[in-house]
Amino acid sequence: MKKSISYLLVIVVVLMTTAAKKTVTIFMIGDSTMANKSIDNDKQERGWGMALQGFFTENVRVDNHAVNGRSSKSFIDEGRWDKVKELIKPGDYVFIQFGHNDEKPQPERHTVPGGSFDDNLRKFVKETRERGGIPVLFNCVVRRNFMKVVPKNDDDEKLRESTYSNDTIESDTLFDTHGEYRLAPKRVAEEMKVLFVDANAITHNLEQGMGREASKRLHMWFRPGEHPSMPDGRQDNTHYCVYGAHVVAGLLVDAIGEVVPELRPYIVHYDLVVANNGFGNYMSLQKAVDEAPEGKTTAIRILNGSWPKPVVSRNKKIKYYCDSQAKIGD
């Protein structure tokens, strides 16, 4: 009898340990504003989804499948959705955000809000649910557009070829560039009773609140010679830099916590995040320490990598939080 009880206790402990270590996966599908980016040659562009892992504990795994230049149509037609769909397990989440490229005129990308765009969103929702997953719809983040007349833009991807210009005349008001494409996801969410995050409103309030000059810091605005990876500078109101991606991810993760209360216990905020794959706002632990402010305790989360013990000046207080894939010192 005692042996049976002992075995039962062992089983219970094992089950409890397994449950505690259970990982929930968040799959992300969308465009360049969400996507992971190359960090070769110290490139500075980031999607907000690239920064999202730093705002969740290790119980949540962010699997980002968003790709530059894709619309809801091209993401499906290229077979990308089918690959993601096969990975979804019961209880996993799928974050869905399109719109920037659905409005483009190219036939391989263009969809119609109220028609094909809505149908594609319905497809993502329906097939996620068929796999036992939980869909979450997002509308598109805003472009930084302070001009009443929206500049002609047939392809956001070409903005990577732009160079810095100081002759753009802007107002003090942020103007919408997405029209019905920002409204369709909410409409589909209400129709299909889907969780919805109003990323457009959140980023509109952010950019308008910062104003026309400070909001440039969120995007790929660099003067000539300001960064070695862009010797001629860059002027891009769509794509985020490292700072912008982390600010936006931090705001959106809090909105996610409100909309998806089951994920709220796993949401975390640290002062700085270090990762050697570009998922943090620093790729060097020593640099993060060097730029930490004096006179207060700075919480630094380290997502991965093996790092030499950093040199900390006397006036700084640093507290490190290492994930299981991270290590400091020998």
Encoded tokens for 320: 């490190």
Section 151-167 average pLDDT: 69
Is the model's pLDDT at 53 over the cut of 50? yes
What's the pTM value of the predicted model, to 2 decimals? 0.90
Find residue 298's DSSP bridge partners.
318
Section 25-52 average pLDDT: 97
Q: Residues of the chain with pLDDT > 70: what percent?
A: 91
Q: Which band of pLDDT confidence, cut at 50, 70 and 90, is reported for residue 161? A: low
Extended strands (E) in 46-197 = 60-64, 93-97, 134-138, 195-197
C-alpha closest to that of 303 among 63, 54, 37: 54
- Among 67-71, 80-84, 212-216, 232-236, name the one with the lowest average pLDDT: 232-236
C-alpha closest to that of 30 among 77, 93, 100: 100
Helices 116-130 and 80-87 cross at an angle (nearest 10°) of 30
Q: Which residue type occupies 25? A: T
Encoded tokens for 315: 């006036």
Q: Residues of the chain with pLDDT > 90: what percent?
A: 84
The torsion of the CA quartet 213, 219, 223, 225, rounded to 10 degrees, works out to 150
Q: What is the mean pLDDT of the chain?
A: 91
Q: Encode burial over 119-147: b for 16+ CB neighbours within 10 A, e otherwise.
A: ebbeebbebbeeeebbbbbbbbbbbbbbb
Q: In the chain, what's the furthest Cα-to-Cα distance? A: 85
Find residue 56's DSSP bridge partners.
267
Q: What is d(CA 120, CA 105) in angstroms, rounded to the nearest whole number? A: 17
Maximum average pLDDT range among 13-17, 116-120, 171-175, 228-232: 116-120
Is the model's pLDDT at 192 over the cut of 50? yes
- Among 43-52, 158-167, 319-328, name the one with the lowest average pLDDT: 158-167
